[in-house]
Amino acid sequence: MQPFTSKQDFCDWLNQFEHPHLIAGWANQPHWVSVTTAGRLTVHIPFAAKNLLDELSEWVISKQQTDALAPFSVEIIIAPKALATTVAHSVNGVKNIIAVTSAKGGVGKSTTAVNLALAIAQSGAKVGLLDADIYGPSVPMMLGKQEAKPDVRDNKWMQPVEAFGIFSHSIGYLVDKSEAAIWRGPMASKALAQLLNETEWPDVDYLVIDMPPGTGDIQLTLSQQIPVTGAVIVTTPQDLALADARKGATMFEKVDVPVIGLIENMSYHICSHCGEKEHIFGVGGAQKLASEYGLALLAQIPLHIALREDIDQGRPTVVAQPESEHTQRYLQLAERVCSSLYWQGKPKPDAISFTLVD
């Protein structure tokens, strides 16, 4: 039987495994692989990727048998790392912030953000969801939590509302819709910052922020004062939506927030009777825009009545129909977003602790 005599032997063996979410020589990356003196191997995947974990686990079992290796134990875990941002301070209890944005309303951004957050959670991470649409909060309804009110600790720290395994907060939990809708820009921006920083997030790996549409005060507040790790732009194939998506990409570029990629929502319509695809908003627009800005086209999500029905009933498709093709698209999107975020970013150094000795 072939024995491994060093950590590098293990890494060279693991590097034979290839996957779309990995780079060449991935096992040689710092902190990915650890080996104990007893020969126990641990692989730390630093982003949410349950599908990757499952495929790597199967590969390891198969290769151990076919390569006639000396017996050794392998543990593969998902342990998302906090990534550096251009904003110096951080948000307590949050490792990474993903802003889901669109410069135009009506493109399905909130539906995408909610399903993306749920899909990231199912991919192995602890997830928070912040509804930053101060003027028209929709997350409470989409999660079936319209009547929920957050608990408050010490008269300051708001506790997020848990739904389907994720931790959410929204101005919709605190005020009536009519009150939120008449706020001026500076007041709305201040409320958003307070909502983010005075929520006691429970050490989430990713906080998905459902941004309001546009490129105004709230978007600038987020991008300049909040440590956004990366942004995802949602658009449709329609020329008007693509024109506004360009503005969003340009804004994030100017404020040094990395854009992870584009999501083309309502990419095509699927008939609920015959299953035929129909490109009612055009074809190829998001791909052209992605190429223009050097961005990835992360996913093409179809327009289907089931997606609307699920969200209206307060049970988003990812939890309402876990085995559906729609859910599989969101799960693939989640892993692509998290892996791209990691490889585009730079991990924060681990905190150094000191112990005083008398």
Does 346 count as an annotated binding residue? Answer: no
Does 165 count as an annotated binding residue? Answer: no
Over the chain, what HEC string results?
CECCCCHHHHHHHHCCCCCCCCCCCHHHCCCCEEECCCCCEEEEECCCCHHHHHHHHHHHHHHHHHCCECCCCEEEEECCCCECCCCCCCCCCEEEEEEEECCCCCCCHHHHHHHHHHHHHHCCCCEEEEECCCCCCCHHHHCCCCCCCCCEECCCEECCEEECCEEEEEHHHCCCHHHHHCCCHHHHHHHHHHHHHCECCCCEEEEEEECCCCCCHHHHHHHHHCCCCEEEEEECCCHHHHHHHHHHHHHHHHCCCCEEEEEEEEEEEECCCCCCEECCCCCCHHHHHHHHHCCEEEEEEEECHHHHHHHHCCCCHHHHCCCCHHHHHHHHHHHHHHHHHHHHCCECCCCCCCCCCC
Does 180 count as an annotated binding residue? Answer: no
> What is the C-alpha separation between 297 and 315, in angstroms, rounded?
27
Residue 1: CA atoms inside 13 Å, Cβ hemisphere, count?
Answer: 12
Does 109 count as an annotated binding residue? Answer: yes
Helix 109-122 vs helix 325-344: angle between axes, to the nearest 10 degrees? 80
What's the one-letter identity of residue 189?
A: S
Taking the alpha carbons at both ends of the chain, their separation in whole angstroms is: 52
What's the one-letter identity of residue 276?
A: E
Does 107 count as an annotated binding residue? Answer: yes
Does 285 count as an annotated binding residue? Answer: no
Please give the structure tokens belonging to residue 49.
């990727």
Question: Can you say which residues are annotated as belonging to the binding site?
Answer: 103-110
Question: Can you say which residues are annotated as belonging to the binding site for ATP?
Answer: 103-110
